[in-house]
Structure 1
Amino acid sequence: MIRKRPSSIYRRRPAAVVVGGGLNALGVVRSLASAGVPVHLLAGSPDLPAARSRYVDFHRYDDREPENAVGALADWAARQPGPRRPLILTEEEKVAAVSGQRAHLESNYVLQLPPADTVIRLLSKDRFHAAAEAGGYVVPRTRHIGSIDDLDRLSALVPPLVIKPAGRQRAFLARFPRACRAESIDGARDQLRDMLTVSDDLVVQEWVDGDDSTIYFCLQCLGDGDREPVSFVGRKLRAWPRQTGGTARCVAAPEAAAALIPLTTRFFREQGVIGLAGMEYKWRATTREYVMIEPTIGRTDHQEEIATLNGVNLPWAAYRQALGQVAPRVARVAPARIWKDPMADANAAAAGEAIAFPAPSDARVVDALWRRSDPGPGLLDLYDRARARAARLMVRRS
């Protein structure tokens, strides 16, 4: 529940509904709260970071299957009659579920989603690759692997290689990392033989040389027509696991904005994308070009709050767009803010991963969990870790 007395502006604004409970959702909740937007959060557990925020009215549902989100949203709307609310998704598998059942939700929610066929195309790594290649964009050479018979297709690629599921797959991610690097064709074949026992929808790509700090991202909120999207460009400073993992630490990258904003906008416009989206790139120094890696469609990105921290509040832009209002003004922040995922960043530091790119010396590091104005997520995370540490010590002593 919301634990502070809302202002009159806060009470007057329609609530937003956010689905998901991780660090991604926590950044969305805090971004909306900073603009005075009340938030209803639907998530699978009260122990998730976003559910512990003082800014949410929390509603629990069984999220063990992605499709359950559709029923939970319909049930919640039936209990909370009112105008259509802006809906913000924070998890990839929920995007596919909501998109496929949008007709059941549109009477109660404002869904800023691309057409269903666009969602299907861009959520699949091999279909995205085909669309980008057809449009003349620079992408890594890629092969789809669906069975043992497809392993001969790897001979057309130049190692090192990276292996990924073509889409979000729970069974695969329960056994394997979301991306695995192979140093040779034979090494990739060995890994794929094991992976194919779990999934028949995998992609293998040529590795783009460069450390984690050469990975950039362009986050956007796109409207209909020719209106200029609200955009933010950042770069990773550290990832975990190294080279193939998610963002552990990142910063604004205004030096790349002039190149990446038009490139990202053109691709998304061609594909019919609206709402929240993002594109990840890797800078290839040998050819001096940005290589498209993969998009984020219909939801916020893991590190979405880095944009808000640096003056570009994309969830607030999506909320205003859903209500038919003009985009908010962008107020760039100086000095720059650095966003970090505390657990991933600590793991990377413990493994000896140095930060290759020197961030601005006056930049302020902001922890994704800890905020003086919203202490619950950080304090309860500290309590959970202390309790887990005590339990491990008791097991050792016994």
Structure 2
Amino acid sequence: MGEKQAALVIGVCSHGLSVIRSLHANGVTVFAIEKSTDIPGVKTNTISQLFQVKDFSAEELLISLPQIRKSLSQWNEIVLFATNDNHVKFICDFFPQLTTYFKISWAEQREMVGQLIDKRNLEHFSKAAGLNYPKSAIINQSSQKDTVLSDFRYPVIIKPAKPLSSFKTQIARSHEEVNKLTEKFAADLPFVAQEYIEGGDQTLYFCALTLEAGALVQSMVGQKISSFPPARGQTTIAQTSENHEVTDFTLRFFAQFKLSGPVSLEMKKAPDNTYWVIEPTVGRTDFWSELCIKAGFHQPYQEFLIALGQKASTQSLTGAVWFDCERAPLNYFKACRAKKTFKPFGKPPAFTYFRLGDLKPFFAACLLLLKRLILKR
């Protein structure tokens, strides 16, 4: 692509590292922004230049991004990549300022993306697509909980409506536990409260799509094997799965919006074999994108091409299993010991940091783990 197009990734967390590596593997020159130089991802050899910022606040990014773009003036077009929902919201909120400098794959659908990252809208969108969504209510103030949950069946899942609050999900098994949670996390109001759908980690599925103006470019289904906290937290082990029902439901959900770029939908299979919408991801790839990349589904590169108005390429998918060795550093070794094999789920493994040809992030992560273990002792 010569000196014409490049990518700028916000954040070099483990997820950002996956995005960067995928782009680099497909011949894209990648730049990145990070506030900390101590995290393992900054050690990667796949970043052409790392720009440090004080923090990821809107105020800081609105100053830094134009300056960074000016320093990269030799590049005709630079595609901006978000790696979490706060970044997505920032792009939505300040799109007029950013569009002068960067290309964004979902630019034309930014208003809809903004609505989809607000969990308060998900019940309406799910039901409009004819999909099951758990009985839900919005708690805007601590005093409302007694009224809005009066006819709910416990246990109840509590999660923040706003992106990247101080917690992901909490479970309350009684009215008293709801009271404690609303007091503890009052700063994160409003909350979404939902009746809990029974089932463990392996009843959780997700389908990742790349879309172009609503048209399907490629899809892949994954299944959680474990998460933390169990059955309601961040994925720690996941594998590819052949589940056409989940694909069909996901396509039905997103058909309403005509989006472009990467999206995904998480669903849960109840004991009666019905599927229930948990939540979508829009405007970015998901935390488990390394699973997609290992399987041959290079969503970041497809997002890059779509942002530039080029045809997104695809390749055949293979089976894979992904281990999040950041949140659960020893989960691969525990699985190997339990299954008595180095291929514990019968599929080629992928890891958060380990990548042949780019080992410095892995060694940095090992050093951080060793330090934590020493401090713990």
Q: Work out the CA distance in 2 between the residues paired with 1:124 and 1:192.
A: 19
Instruction: Sort the Cα spacing of 1:389 and 1:262 in 2 relative to 1 into closer, same or farther, 3 A.
Output: closer
Instruction: Sort the Cα spacing of 1:315 and 1:246 in 2 relative to 1 into closer, same or farther, 3 A.
Output: same
Q: Work out the CA distance in 2 between the residues paired with 1:146 and 1:117.
A: 23
Q: Work out the CA distance in 2 between the residues paired with 1:259 and 1:67.
A: 43
Q: Work out the CA distance in 2 between the residues paired with 1:326 and 1:274.
A: 12
1:118 aligns with 2:102: no
Aligned partner of 1:212 among 201, 208, 220 = 201
- Partner residue, 1:84: 77
Quick check: 2:269–2:275 contact (8 Å CA) kept in 1? Answer: yes
1:366 aligns with 2:350: yes
1:26 aligns with 2:17: yes
Aligned partner of 1:191 among 181, 194, 205 = 181
Instruction: Sort the Cα spacing of 1:221 and 1:49 in 2 relative to 1 into closer, same or farther, 3 A.
Output: farther
1:330 aligns with 2:312: no
Task: Give SS of 1:372's match.
Answer: coil
Aligned positions of 1:58-97 closer than 5 A: 58-81=50-73, 82-97=75-90
Matching residue's letter, 1:298 = G
Question: Deviation at 1:360?
Answer: 7.7
Question: Deviation at 1:101?
Answer: 0.9
RMSD: 2.6
Aligned partner of 2:229 among 238, 241, 252 = 241
Quick check: 2:263–2:281 contact (8 Å CA) kept in 1? Answer: yes
- Partner residue, 1:6: none
Aligned partner of 1:150 among 141, 144, 151 = 144
Structure 1 stretches lacking a partner, 5+ long: 1-8, 394-398
Q: Work out the CA distance in 2 between the residues paired with 1:228 and 1:168.
A: 26
Instruction: Sort the Cα spacing of 1:389 and 1:159 in 2 relative to 1 into closer, same or farther, 3 A.
Output: closer
- Partner residue, 2:171: 181
Quick check: 1:160–1:206 contact (8 Å CA) kept in 2? Answer: yes
- Partner residue, 1:299: 284
- Partner residue, 1:50: 41
Quick check: 1:138–1:291 contact (8 Å CA) kept in 2? Answer: yes
1:321 aligns with 2:306: yes
Aligned pair count?
369
Structure 2 stretches lacking a partner, 5+ long: none
- Partner residue, 1:165: 160
Aligned partner of 2:268 among 282, 287, 301 = 282
Q: Work out the CA distance in 2 between the residues paired with 1:183 and 1:347.
A: 31
What percentage of residue pairs aligned between the two structures are identical?
23
Task: Give SS of 2:149's match.
Answer: helix
Q: Work out the CA distance in 2 between the residues paired with 1:297 and 1:185.
A: 33
Aligned partner of 1:386 among 366, 370, 376 = 370
Q: Work out the CA distance in 2 between the residues paired with 1:67 and 1:284.
A: 43
TM, length-normalised to structure 2: 0.90
Deviations along 1:175-209, whole A, 9 cap, x unmatched? xx31111112332233223333x233111111111
- Partner residue, 2:8: 17
Aligned partner of 1:224 among 207, 213, 218 = 213
Matching residue's letter, 2:24 = A
Question: Deviation at 1:102?
Answer: 0.9
Larger deviation: 21-30 or 77-86?
A: 77-86
Aligned partner of 2:190 among 188, 201, 209 = 201
Task: Give SS of 1:270's match.
Answer: coil
Q: Work out the CA distance in 2 between the residues paired with 1:191 and 1:21.
A: 32
Task: Give SS of 1:339's match.
Answer: strand
Q: Work out the CA distance in 2 between the residues paired with 1:319 and 1:278.
A: 17
Aligned partner of 2:295 among 299, 310, 317 = 310
Q: Work out the CA distance in 1 between the residues paired with 2:373 and 2:198.
A: 39
TM, length-normalised to structure 1: 0.85
Instruction: Sort the Cα spacing of 1:181 and 1:388 in 2 relative to 1 into closer, same or farther, 3 A.
Output: closer
Question: Deviation at 1:24?
Answer: 0.7
Quick check: 1:83–1:108 contact (8 Å CA) kept in 2? Answer: no
Instruction: Sort the Cα spacing of 1:218 and 1:237 in 2 relative to 1 into closer, same or farther, 3 A.
Output: same
Question: Deviation at 1:361?
Answer: 4.6
Instruction: Sort the Cα spacing of 1:71 and 1:259 in 2 relative to 1 into closer, same or farther, 3 A.
Output: farther
Q: Work out the CA distance in 2 between the residues paired with 1:26 and 1:153.
A: 41
Q: Work out the CA distance in 1 between the residues paired with 2:237 and 2:128.
A: 33
